[in-house]
Chain A
């Protein structure tokens, strides 16, 4: 492989790799608390492998993406544009937003959908320093009894769950691992 260039690190076999990644994304969203491995792309730093692969899988010229904080570098902008053609927009217009929990900021900046179209909401991809099955207690659709997931900002996420059927959905990425939290999941902080 030549020197890392601005566009390198896309999916090697896009149809197959994207299908595997989409399956992993569907599974974690359907079973909150599950952690799956998500790999295939090599995005420019500081974007994690899982977040980069998710973006390549889910984004196309019709999904608006918001890059928050330290993720918003020229290298990542060029890389994402080359591979997906997704337009880059502000938080208020985004279909997908990527960044650390702190960089993403207060959740009321993002679209939560409308009563007629609850799907017109943002999906946030949160880059985490750690991702493990401990901490907040989750219950709801897709969870047999309870599940646990290390969530950042539990009060804000509880507030988001109260908006159901509106609200945002979340992917949490750390390295090449991914977990998800749909708006339908009830969150209890650890007693």
Chain B
């Protein structure tokens, strides 16, 4: 039971993080492709605020404040009582609404469809953008090495 819960939290953390980082236009385009949307009520209407992003040097050092970023958040409840939260970067309120609805739908029977038609393509797109950028950066990498050490 504990393992299941931890698995569920881990999985939810993954898709929440994916939605939070997703580019505006990609997410909204994919979201427009989902026809069956559940009806919902607001728990918290979309609101814009800022959060302090903290980092750790090398991922293990002492935490430091990296800087503030703008986030938009909202919470929805579906007719069956499932609660979904949306926290996304930027100021786009429809995106926060989409993220909250996706979070709620991922906890219902629609999870497989949403995963296949929205989250997987989104992840592939973001991975592709990241790889392209990394490849471009790698092409400009300069390797320094010494031909002759000149010890003589």
Chain A interface residues toward B at CB < 8 A: 1-3, 5-8, 10, 13-14, 82-83
Q: B67 at interface (Cβ–Cβ under 8 A)? A: no
Residues of chain B with a CB closer than 8 A to A83's CB: 44
- Separation in Å of the A118 CB from the closest CB of chain B? 32
Cβ–Cβ contact B43 & A8, under 8 A: yes
Residues of chain A with a CB closer than 8 A to B79's CB: 2
The listed residue (B44, B45, B75, B77) touching A2 by CB distance below 8 A is: B77
Residues of chain A with a CB closer than 8 A to B43's CB: 5, 7-8, 10, 82
Chain B: how many interface residues by the 8 Å CB criterion?
12
Besides A7-B44, A7-B83, A14-B45, 11 new A-B residue pairs in contact (Cβ under 8 A), listed by A number:
A1-B41, A2-B78, A2-B81, A5-B81, A5-B83, A6-B83, A7-B43, A7-B75, A7-B77, A8-B41, A83-B44
Contact mask for chain B residues 22-44; partner A; CB cutoff 8 A; 1 contact, 0 none: 00000000000000000001011
Residues of chain A with a CB closer than 8 A to B45's CB: 13-14
Mostly, the B contact residues are strand
Contact mask for chain B residues 77-96; partner A; CB cutoff 8 A; 1 contact, 0 none: 11111010000000000000
The listed residue (A1, A3, A6, A10) touching B44 by CB distance below 8 A is: A10
Residues of chain A with a CB closer than 8 A to B44's CB: 7, 10, 82-83
CA separation between A8 and B83, bound complex, in Å? 10
CA separation between A5 and B75, bound complex, in Å? 12
The listed residue (B47, B75, B81) touching A3 by CB distance below 8 A is: B81
CA separation between A129 and B78, bound complex, in Å? 35
Residues of chain B with a CB closer than 8 A to A13's CB: 45
CA separation between A14 and B49, bound complex, in Å? 14
CA separation between A86 and B77, bound complex, in Å? 22
